[in-house]
Amino acid sequence: MQVRIARLACVIGLSMLVAACATPPTTGAMRASVPSGTIPTAPGTVTVKVTGGQPTSELEGASLADADLKAATEATLLHANAFQRVSDDLGARYVLSATIVRVPHPWIGLTFTFEVDIGWSLLDRAQDKVLLRKGITTSGTATMSDAIGGSTRGRMALEAAARANLEQLLRELAKVSY
């Protein structure tokens, strides 16, 4: 009987350990879904630069890496048709820069809420003029009904916060006079 209980405890412990492995947020889940035509298309190509992020780690849980936010931002801009083209070309007319300022990690709980604080700026190289400079803070929440595993809830909450941030960015870009 004690052997069975010990084996069961080991199986439960290993299951919890596997379920606790943190995974980074996905581009598709962070991409803001805004119908094309919602914002005017800027005349020219944009390149996206992201700094300040941290990769996901097993100890700290889900985090927002530069490459992940860059990919989600590019996908959002393409989907919204916000610019004629998105490119890594250094000769692009516009540079959209994102600085990940703060992403505090929730540590434990049945409900995880992530806050994402990103500083955005849009530079028009042709006019050598900053068209947008805006700090955007958003949050996202995931509960036990969204996912049983804490690391999955954390990732989902982070994705929701990043998606909300990109949605707000699109609203700000819609106000820009090109």
Residue 23 in domain: yes
- Predicted confidence (pLDDT) per residue in 109-154, tens digit: 788 888 999 999 999 999 999 999 999 999 999 887 778 787 888 8
Residue 126 in domain: yes
Residue 13: CB partners within 8 Å, gap ≥ 6? Answer: none
Lowest mean pLDDT among 23-32, 85-94, 111-120: 23-32
Lowest mean pLDDT among 34-48, 62-76, 85-99: 34-48
pLDDT tops 90 at residue 75: yes
Residue 65 in domain: yes
- The β-bridge partners of 130 are 123
**Strand ranges across the sheet with 94-102:** 83-86, 42-51, 94-102, 112-124, 129-142
Residue 53 in domain: yes
Average pLDDT value for residue range 25-54: 84
Domain holding 33, by residue range, is 2-173
> In a 3-state reduction of DSSP, which class is residue 41?
coil
What's the CATH code of the domain at 111? 3.40.50.10610
Count of the separate structural domains present in the chain:
1
- For the entire predicted model, the pTM comes to 0.81
Residue 69 in domain: yes
* pLDDT band of 15, cuts 50, 70, 90: very low
Residue 110 in domain: yes
Residue 178 in domain: no
Count of other CB atoms within 10 angstroms of residue 177: 5
| Residue with tokens 């500083």, as numbered in its chain | 119
Tell me which DSSP letter residue 148 carries. Answer: S
Residue 145 in domain: yes
